[in-house]
Amino acid sequence: MAGPVLEMRSIVKTFPGVKALSDVTLTVQQGEVHAICGENGAGKSTLMKVLSGVHPHGSYEGDILFESEVCSFKDIRASEHRGIVIIHQELALVPYLSIAENIFLGNEHATRGLISWTDTLRHASELLRRVGLDENPQTRVADIGVGKQQLVEIAKALSKQVKLLILDEPTAALNDEDSGKLLDLILELKTQGITSIIISHKLNEIERVADSVTILRDGRTIETLDVKAPETTEDRIISGMVGRDLEHRFPERTPHHPEAGASPALEIRDWTVFHPIDQQRKVVDDVSISVRRGEIVGIAGLMGAGRTELAMSVFGRSYGRYASGTVLRDGKEIRTKSVSEAVGHGIAYVTEDRKHYGLNLIDTINRNISLSALGKVARRGVVDEHEERKVSEGFRKSMNIKAPTVFEPVGKLSGGNQQKVVLSKWIFAGPEVLILDEPTRGIDVGAKFEIYTVIDKLAAEGKAVVFISSELPELLGMCDRIYTMAAGRLTGEFSRAEASQETLMRQMTKDKEVTR
């Protein structure tokens, strides 16, 4: 290494009622990939917002040295001018502009005020190839999935003269294949002299790409480790993150064996849905699945397999154009043409995109939790604020939501704590069937165990759980049965004993319907 490119010294950042960072120190060497780990609320994203000027100079204490010069960034444009580019965990794209327009927004290819669309589209195509995204640059961002939007963000960052690239949970929304391509890209950028800081909860990713890892806990620097050193094990990192050892990644679970002859709590038969724009393309093609009370059933698939499309279309026809299929609850056919109908039949859906569909970010924890079932905290049509607060306080404690009060705006919480609020909201509604779409996306290993324990408890209480995840170890550790999907079709069904990562991946890469 050629010496430090970045030094952050004694950084202190305080929000009303919360000290987010307390005397944090970080040193990043020129040309390295430096990982930052910590539980939700540890201060990782806040530290990077300080570095990038999102929290401007004067709003924090301490010093930032970049390329040996003291920096006082007043905003994100000032840090980008120095070559520091941050990609936030929550995406910041304009949905109704094209991919190309988003990539060069504020950095347009223009001469005398006129944009050259030929240059824009050509350069956008080159950047999309670099990040492994096979999309027309003229496609609207609103018409691609969350995972692909993350790749557009990375392409946007690469369009600038980057010296230090900061990636906050860059693979949280990506499947294993696309995550691998992205990690390879980070290593390729390293060979080009670009330094990267990656915030990730996925320890296998850190082991693969990082040179060093700094661990934060409760807003403080715990230690910085050489990732390649023999003593830097996953257990060592986890212990530093949570302040305790985690002997097991998943709760001990006895596989569920449904009663003979009992009807499934939820059964979906011959479900077919067309794309909302390209109405000749099937995104869900004749899919049939079932889940019984007390059972956790997983759905595995690569990006574009149709998992989220299936879940959203069943939950009130929230995605695409319904073509055919039936939904049954406890053996009886039900209507789920609207979200209110689905909720009325005891079905809840925890979305993978909490920012747009799961939460009201400008409202409080208190109000977000109660919104799914206001009738439970109302008397004669008027919300009992005391009861509402009692309920939300209960969830704040039981779900370990890190916030000073339940009146904290949800938009100020870390991504993982926001996810806990989403889960609390739907658990409060008291559903019999929960469809969980990437429920631990962007959540650290300590908080994941807490979420897994909640899910396991719900199943033990007789709830039926559908568990969609891009992390195969998560599905294998939590589920009684696992379905696989590819290209909108069901390709396999496996018991807990039959399933393995190799078996699931083999079926996830097929384009052939399973024989049932």
Cβ contact 105:141 at 8 Å:
no
**Of the candidates 294, 289, 299, the residue with the CA atom closest to the CA atom of residue 257:** 294
What was the pLDDT predicted at 298? 96
**Does the structure show a pLDDT above 60 at 513?**
no
User: Can you give the pTM of this predicted structure?
Assistant: 0.61
Higher pLDDT, 203 or 340: 340
**Does the structure show a pLDDT above 90 at 139?**
yes
Options 1.10.630.10, 1.10.3720.10, 3.40.605.10, 3.40.50.300; CATH for 264-346+431-516 is: 3.40.50.300
466-487 pLDDT per residue, tens: 999 988 888 999 999 999 998 8
Kindly tell me the number of DSSP H helices and DSSP E strands found in the chain.
16, 24
Cβ contact 37:204 at 8 Å:
no
What was the pLDDT predicted at 349? 93
For the chain, the straight-line distance linking the first and the last C-alpha, in angstroms and rounded, comes to 57
Cβ contact 187:138 at 8 Å:
no
Q: What is the distance between the alpha carbons of residues 108 and 116, in angstroms, rounded to a whole number?
A: 8
Does the structural domain 4-242 have CATH classification 3.90.550.10?
Answer: no
Q: Which residues of 204-238 are buried (b: 16+ CB within 10 A; e: fewer)?
A: ebbbbbbbbbbbbbbbbbbebbebeeeebeeebbb
In the block, residue with structure tokens 């301490």? 62
**Does the structure show a pLDDT above 50 at 55?**
yes
Q: What is the distance between the alpha carbons of residues 431 and 280, in angstroms, rounded to a whole number?
A: 34
Q: Is 178 helix (H, G, I), strand (E, B) or coil?
A: helix
243-279 pLDDT per residue, tens: 755 556 788 777 666 665 678 999 999 999 998 887 7
Under 8 Å CB-to-CB from 155, ≥6 apart: which residues? Answer: 99, 103, 124, 127, 128, 130, 131, 133
What was the pLDDT predicted at 446? 72
At 515, is the pLDDT very low, low, confident or very high (cuts 50, 70, 90)?
very low
Tokens of residue 444, six digits? 């650290």
Range(s) of the chain covered by CATH 3.40.50.300: 4-242, 264-346+431-516
297-345 pLDDT per residue, tens: 999 987 778 999 999 999 999 998 999 999 999 999 999 999 999 999 9
